[in-house]
Amino acid sequence: MEIAIVGLGNVGGALARAFARVGYKVYAGVRDEKEADRAAMENYHKNVSIHQMEEVGAMASTIFFCVVPPAISEVCRRVGNLEDKLIVDTMNCLHSHPEGYSDTFEALSAFYPQCSVVKAFNTTGYENILHPSFGSMAIDTFMAGDDIHAKHLVHRMATDLGFAECYDFGGANTVHLLEELARIWVNLALFQGHGRNIAFKILKREPY
């Protein structure tokens, strides 16, 4: 399977490595030569190729956006026109927002009305994207969006990476819940001192 990732920060870099490791072909879109040089120095997997942002939109049917929220308008202009693509929004507006929009999901949906947008991979640290197994137990992740078929694809990608489950929170009206879950993770990991090696897991048992 082939995917494109726009932005090679902590989350984008973790997704690129994780997908490459399980056999995906990854086209990573970077902002400039400086970011491309840094990516080369970090010795990405052989399944990852580095390109300019303007190039990757045509290379895959699934595009992951992993940039800071204030940059999303400029990034979308650089990526250019996308039609009939699956767009995965991995970003959180915990400290900043895209200008003119309440969150990145709304911005991406406005820039790309002919695409399906799914919020996913935003509720845990990049370390857990790279290593979603805690000993013998795989952690869970979550998603939201209106397109059921698109969410089936995201679910498959999540389990390919090693997550135990990718729970569906519902439609676009539940995206804010995923951002709140991300805020909870950040609070526990960073502000409450539990560290970044924590993750969410849904446990089930038979009723009494």
- CATH number of the domain within which 155 lies: 3.40.50.720
Mean pLDDT of the chain: 94
Domain-located, residue 136: yes
Domain-located, residue 82: yes
Domain-located, residue 110: yes
Query: For residue 45, what pLDDT band results from cuts at 50, 70 and 90?
Result: confident
Domain-located, residue 157: yes
Domain-located, residue 206: no
Domain-located, residue 199: no
Give the residue, 44 or 52, on which the prediction is more confident.
52
Number of domains present in the structure of the chain: 1
Domain-located, residue 154: yes
Owning domain of residue 62: 2-191
Domain-located, residue 9: yes
Residue 3 has pLDDT above 80, yes or no: yes
Q: Secondary structure of the chain in the HEC alphabet?
A: CEEEEECCCHHHHHHHHHHHHCCCEEEEEECCHHHHHHHHHCCCCCCEEEEEHHHHCCCCCEEEECCCHHHHHHHHHHHCCCCCCEEEECCCCCCCCCCCCCCHHHHHHHHCCCCEEEEECCCCCHHHHHCCEECCEECEEEEECCCHHHHHHHHHHHHHHCCCEEEECCCHHHHHHHHHHHHHHHHHHHHCCCCCCCCCCCCCCCCC
pTM of this prediction? 0.95
Query: For residue 41, what pLDDT band results from cuts at 50, 70 and 90?
Result: low
Q: With pLDDT > 70 as the criterion, what percentage of the chain qualifies? A: 99
